[in-house]
């Protein structure tokens, strides 16, 4: 990627009007040597910029990765909590069903006693 950018810049510089060897040769370059030298310096500066940029991108990528891991962890924890809540809900429902069934049979027994005049 970086190499491709440098090649692109080089091609761009060579196709620029200042790079042609005609009458349009820019006067701010004393000689072809000075021009090449300045172009090289420019390329070196750009490469250094790209290195810095790449480092920054890698740092941000690292931060994104750790953020993603954190979110994954939170989601797993949340799933676990939901499972616990669901289990508790099922247990409560079972307990309630058992309680209602016991109450029902006690009511039935009471009704039978009343019918037999024992209460
Ligand atoms: C369900 O009943 C069992 C046994 O009586 C009890 O230990 C448990 O705490 C109950 N669960 C809930 C959620 O009420």
Per-residue pLDDT, 26? 56
Q: Which residues line ligand 1 (CB under 6 A)?
A: 88, 91-92, 95
Return the best residue to mutate from 89, 91, 92 for the ligand 1 pocket (most ligand atoms within 8 A of CB): 91
Return the best residue to mutate from 95, 98, 99 for the ligand 1 pocket (most ligand atoms within 8 A of CB): 95
Q: What is the DSSP string of the chain?
A: -HHHHHHHHHHHHHHSGGGSSSTT--TTSSSHHHHHHHHHHHHHHHHHHHHHHHHHHHHHHHHHHHHHHHHHHHHHHHHHHHHHHHHHHHHHHHHHHHHHHHHHHHHHHHHHHHHTT--
For the chain, the residue count is: 119
Atom of ligand 1 nearest to the CA of 92: 13
User: What's the pTM?
Assistant: 0.49
Per-residue pLDDT, 70? 97
Each residue's pLDDT expressed in tens, for the chain with a length of 119 residues: 566 656 565 566 666 555 545 455 556 667 888 999 999 999 999 999 999 999 999 999 999 999 999 999 999 999 999 999 999 999 999 999 999 999 999 999 999 999 998 76
Atom of ligand 1 nearest to the CA of 88: 13
Instruction: For residue 91, report the distance from its CA to the centre of ligand 1, in Å.
Output: 7
Instruction: For residue 87, report the distance from its CA to the centre of ligand 1, in Å.
Output: 12
């Amino acid at each position: 990627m970086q190499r491709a950018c440098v090649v692109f810049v080089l091609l761009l510089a060579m196709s620029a009007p200042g790079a042609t060897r005609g009458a349009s040769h820019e006067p701010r370059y004393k000689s072809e040597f000075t021009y090449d030298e300045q172009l090289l310096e420019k390329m070196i500066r750009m490469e250094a910029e790209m290195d810095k940029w790449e480092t920054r991108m890698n740092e941000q990528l690292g931060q994104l990765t750790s953020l993603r891991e954190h979110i994954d962890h939170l989601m797993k924890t949340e799933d676990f909590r939901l499972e616990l809540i669901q289990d508790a809900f099922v247990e409560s429902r079972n307990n309630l069903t058992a309680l209602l069934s016991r109450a029902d049979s006690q009511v039935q027994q009471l009704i039978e006693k009343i019918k037999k005049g024992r209460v």
